[in-house]
């Protein structure tokens, strides 16, 4: 199966990508003080230089006191962090690549003691207490407005420093997804209850981002059925329900859906081989990004816990066939690109024997 389908340009309005290979957003925790430094600039530049069409940055936090959940995660606010990101943008553009930041609020996953203000608990759709202490603050209407404003400001800043669009992190059980999912959203107001109500936060957020950046600046929404709190969780059980879930998000201003799965080849619903990105493209008519174990023989969550497992390079045949059939438009690659900046180049040149395996060790350095 020829790999050239992966290296065909992609155009969407003002977004012209040199290839279909997208670098998946991956938290690296190499930005002390929240500022991307010269190592981070070089890390992204290398991937752009070696055939990645679109880089989606690691999750980068919006300007809200509870947005961060982990050490050394880069901010997307404040003069120093934005100046760092501007250097990343310039370096990627100099190599002919495109880049968008993944805008992130971790919500209730945050723990007291986390930077930048150790006294701030998690913020989520619904309050949670433990031993009489509030560990998750249930968000008020004002909190909701504050977070939406922070995303809109981040998107405006992304546009100002030359980013090629933004990705909103609406997946994996973080804040936006906590609103989507009934397992984490027990609200009784207009932001809780039906899936339509649980989507209201995301819809208002996307509308605010669209209003901040205007038409023609791509907005990508990443969403997932699975949650880090429950890998088997599902927001929807049928294609009809998926369509009803996605349409208002599409109408609110999403240009590209990034459909996060752990194994791209798995059918999303019985009775059809289409995966989540395939169904999303079919139902919304919008371009989609697929993701999940591309080029590797083991899925990523196995590698987040202590393990000496190694994911070996795997055939791209199934992926290329689906891409050729236009099941989806773009292909995000995570670990294979984390361990090897030249992965896309090697695939393009047919140098399969040079492609590296992935093990947890790769997380320790920024190559």
Ligand X SMILES: Cc1cc2nc3c(=O)[nH]c(=O)nc-3n(C[C@H](O)[C@H](O)[C@H](O)COP(=O)(O)O)c2cc1C
Name the residues that contact ligand X, by CB under 6 A: 24-27, 58-59, 102, 169, 171-172, 222, 260, 291-294, 296, 299-300, 333-336, 363
- The neighbouring-strand residues paired with 60 are 103
Longest Cα pair distance anywhere in the chain, in angstroms?
60
Say which of 43, 44, 123, 174 is annotated catalytic: 174
Taking the complex as a whole, the smallest distance from the CB of residue 129 to ligand X amounts, in Å, to: 28
Enumerate residues 6+ apart whose C-beta is below 8 A from 351.
Answer: 345
Distance spanning both ends of the chain, measured CA to CA:
30
46 or 222: CB nearest ligand X: 222
148 or 339: CB nearest ligand X: 339
Taking the complex as a whole, the smallest distance from the CB of residue 61 to ligand X amounts, in Å, to: 10
105 or 172: CB nearest ligand X: 172
Taking the complex as a whole, the smallest distance from the CB of residue 297 to ligand X amounts, in Å, to: 10
246 or 289: CB nearest ligand X: 289
* Crossing angle (nearest 10°) for helices 239-252 and 276-284: 60
Instruction: Note if 174 is an active site residue.
Output: yes
197 or 310: CB nearest ligand X: 310
User: Which tokens go with 190?
Assistant: 């207009």
What residue number has its CB nearest to ligand X?
A: 334
Enumerate residues 6+ apart whose C-beta is below 8 A from 165.
Answer: 15, 98, 100, 158, 217, 218, 219, 220, 255
Q: With left for phi above 0 and alpha for psi between -120 and 50, is residue 214 left, alpha or beta?
A: left
Output 138-142 pairs: Cβ under 8 A, ≥24 positions apart: 138/187, 141/189
Taking the complex as a whole, the smallest distance from the CB of residue 299 to ligand X amounts, in Å, to: 6
Taking the complex as a whole, the smallest distance from the CB of residue 104 to ligand X amounts, in Å, to: 7
b/e map of 303-334 (b: 16 or more CB within 10 Å)?
Answer: beeeeeeebebbebeebbebbeeebbbbbbbb
Count CB atoms within 10 A of the CB of residue 299. Answer: 17
75 or 169: CB nearest ligand X: 169
Enumerate residues 6+ apart whose C-beta is below 8 A from 121.
Answer: 66, 110, 111, 112, 134, 135, 136, 137
With beta carbons less than 8 A apart as the criterion, state whether 112 and 128 touch.
no
For 195-251, strand residue ranges (E) read 219-227
Residue 330's nearest CA partner among 67, 93, 50, 56 is 56
Taking the complex as a whole, the smallest distance from the CB of residue 291 to ligand X amounts, in Å, to: 5
187 or 260: CB nearest ligand X: 260
Residue located via tokens 């809780």:
192
Taking the complex as a whole, the smallest distance from the CB of residue 242 to ligand X amounts, in Å, to: 19
Residue located via tokens 């900046």:
341
Count CB atoms within 10 A of the CB of residue 79. Answer: 8
Q: Among all residues, which ones are annotated catalytic?
A: 174
């Amino acid at each position: 199966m020829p790999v050239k389908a992966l290296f065909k340009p992609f155009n969407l309005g003002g977004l012209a990508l040199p290839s279909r290979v997208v670098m998946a957003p991956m938290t690296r925790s190499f930005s002390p003080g929240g500022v991307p430094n010269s190592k981070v600039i070089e890390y992204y530049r290398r991937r752009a230089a070696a055939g990645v069409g679109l880089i989606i940055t690691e999750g980068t936090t919006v300007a809200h006191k509870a947005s961060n959940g982990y050490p050394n995660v880069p901010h997307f606010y404040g003069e120093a962090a934005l100046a760092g990101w501007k250097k990343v943008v310039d370096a990627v553009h100099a190599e002919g690549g495109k880049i968008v930041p993944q805008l992130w609020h971790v919500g209730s996953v945050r723990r007291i003691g986390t930077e930048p203000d150790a006294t701030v608990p998690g913020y989520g759709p619904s309050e949670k207490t433990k031993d009489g202490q509030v560990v998750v603050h249930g968000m008020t209407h004002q909190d909701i407005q504050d977070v939406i404003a922070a995303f809109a400001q981040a998107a405006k800043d992304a546009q100002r420093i030359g980013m090629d669009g933004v990705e909103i992190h609406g997946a994996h059980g973080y804040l936006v997804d906590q609103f989507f999912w009934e397992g984490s959203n027990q609200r009784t107001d207009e932001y809780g209850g039906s899936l339509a109500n649980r989507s209201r936060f995301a819809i208002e957020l996307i509308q605010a981002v669209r209003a901040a950046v205007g038409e023609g600046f791509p907005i990508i929404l990443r969403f997932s059925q699975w949650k880090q709190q429950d890998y088997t969780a599902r927001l929807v059980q049928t294609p009809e329900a998926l369509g009803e879930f996605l349409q208002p998000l599409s109408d609110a201003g999403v240009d590209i859906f990034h459909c996060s799965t752990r194994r791209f080849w798995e059918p999303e619903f019985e009775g059809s081989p289409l995966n989540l990105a395939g169904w999303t493209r079919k139902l919304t008519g919008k371009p989609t990004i697929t993701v999940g174990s591309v080029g590797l023989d083991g899925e990523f969550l196995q590698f987040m816990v202590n393990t000496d497992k190694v994911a070996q390079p795997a055939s791209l045949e199934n992926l290329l066939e689906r891409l050729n059939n236009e099941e989806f438009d773009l292909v995000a690659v995570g670990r294979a690109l984390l361990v090897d900046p030249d992965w896309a180049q090697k695939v393009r040149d047919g140098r399969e024997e040079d492609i590296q395996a992935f093990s947890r060790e790769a997380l320790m350095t920024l190559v």
